[in-house]
Amino acid sequence: MAETRSIESYVLDLCQYIDAWDYENMNNVYETLLKMRASFKEKHYLNYWRVLQCVGEVAADKLIYLVAKSPVASCKKHNISNLVTVMELFSESLSTVAFIKRVNHYKSDILPVVFTAIEQREYPELVRKGFVALYRMIIVGKTTLVTPYMKHGILRNIYQQIKCQQGVIRVDCVETVSYCAKLVAALLQLGDEETRRSILKSNIPNELDVYVVRLKKSKVNWEEVDDVLEFYDQAKMSFLLGSNSKPEDWNSKDKLIEELKQDLEVFIFCSSPPCRKIQADQEKFLYCGQCKLSRYCSPGCQKEHWKLGHKEMCLHGNGPKL
């Protein structure tokens, strides 16, 4: 990102690309975000979080519309390849509780598209991004997403993915299995007895057992391996002893930060462009009372941002018309 460009102008460009269904430039935005996230320069890394936060505040409804309408926006030949771009950008943007809450409000429109992503076999990366989206959505949606996930065949998809990855020890494959394990652990804690029985009766426990044995024998030392083992242990305890945790023990904010902190330091900023103060530990920023997306370190910053443009861009309406 050029130094002279503001965060807002960069995100407004993304909005224009979404409006125009410009997949090439949307992909360029995603690639730039990855470079910023991987940068050793602090200003680039901080800008990564600034952009993501601004996307959630300004482009939330456009992203929801993009995902929901993507199946009918492309010809049959390019439908899945364009969905890769959509899901990469969408899953990367699921970084705040407020934005994910807004996404979950449209779960009936979003979930069919996400499940299409994990059920296709042409693009493994699309499968991974789909599982990332499902996990981050249930972190915030909690019990409200268990039944929709079950109806869409989440257990079948988890089983098939773990089975497909047996004997293949690569970082990308291990990451996919790690999200399968995360989803199993989440469903066990958030689901009812019928959900738990369905998981126990499935072949998922056996497939996970076999995969973990092979993973341990491989002796590879990746962060993704630690994720698999951690959430496998959580699931295993639930398999053997029953769930010791209740849905009400699930803290969405803490779970999301834990998810985002796998290999990143998470930052939250004041939404007022002239300020952009980083939220300190134990500090609580104010939210915009209308959109519940933008946040501020002080009432003064909130008033200033309202005058600078948030009045026009505030997503306080009923959301996108799908």
8, 190, 215 from 238: Cα distances, Å:
45, 12, 21
Task: Determine the average pLDDT of the residues in 220-230.
Answer: 79
Is there a single domain that holds both residue 281 and residue 257?
A: no
Same domain for 75 and 163: no
b/e for 120-153, b at 16 or more Cβ within 10 A?
Answer: beebbebbbbbbbbbbbbbbbbbeebbebbbebe
Cβ within 8 Å of residue 90, ≥6 positions away? 63, 66, 67, 129, 133
Residue 296 three-state SS: strand
Domain boundary among 42, 73, 93: 93
Residue 281 and residue 292 in one domain? yes
Q: What does the alpha-carbon distance between residue 310 and residue 304 come to, in Å, rounded to a whole number?
A: 9
- Structural domain includes residue 260: yes
127 shares its domain with 263: yes
Residues 88 and 160 in one domain: no
Compute φ and ψ for 2, nearest 5 degrees.
-65, 145
Q: What is the pLDDT of residues 9-52, one digit of tens each?
A: 999 999 999 999 999 999 999 999 999 999 889 999 999 999 99
Mean residue pLDDT across the chain: 89
Whether residue 133 is found in the same domain as residue 239: yes
Q: Residue 294: inside a domain, yes or no?
A: yes
> Which residues are registered as beta bridge partners of 286?
296
Q: Which of 248, 267, 286 is the last residue of a domain?
A: 267
Same domain, 131 and 262: yes
Question: Is 74 in the same domain as 151?
Answer: no
CB under 8 Å to 269, separation ≥6 — which residues?
49, 50, 53, 276, 277, 278, 279
Q: In this structure, is residue 262 part of a structural domain?
A: yes
So what's the pLDDT on residue 263? 62
For residue 30, being part of any structural domain is answered with yes
Q: Same structural domain for residues 84 and 132?
A: no
Q: What is the mean pLDDT of residues 165-169?
A: 82
15 part of a folded domain: yes
DSSP 280: P
The answer to whether residues 246 and 206 belong to one domain is yes
Q: What is the pLDDT of residues 90-148, one digit of tens each?
A: 999 999 999 999 999 999 999 999 999 999 999 999 999 999 999 999 999 999 999 99
Question: Per the domain annotation, does 115 fall within a domain?
Answer: no
In a domain, residue 284? The reply is: yes
Total number of domains constituting the chain = 3
Q: Enter the tokens of residue 220.
A: 């590879």
In tens, the pLDDT along 255-312 reads: 999 899 866 788 999 999 999 999 988 888 999 988 889 999 999 999 999 998 898 8
pLDDT the model gives residue 23: 96
Shared domain check, 236 and 312: no
Are both 151 and 219 inside the same structural domain? yes
Q: Could you list the residue range(s) of the whole structural domain that residue 52 is in?
A: 1-93
Residues β-bridged to residue 269:
278
C-alpha to C-alpha distance for 21 and 25, rounded to whole angstroms: 9
Cβ-based neighbours of 277, under 8 Å, separated by 6 or more: 269, 270, 297, 301
- Cβ atoms < 10 Å from Cβ of 109: 16
Min mean pLDDT across 71-75, 156-160, 184-188, 243-247 is at: 243-247
Does 118 fall in a domain?
no
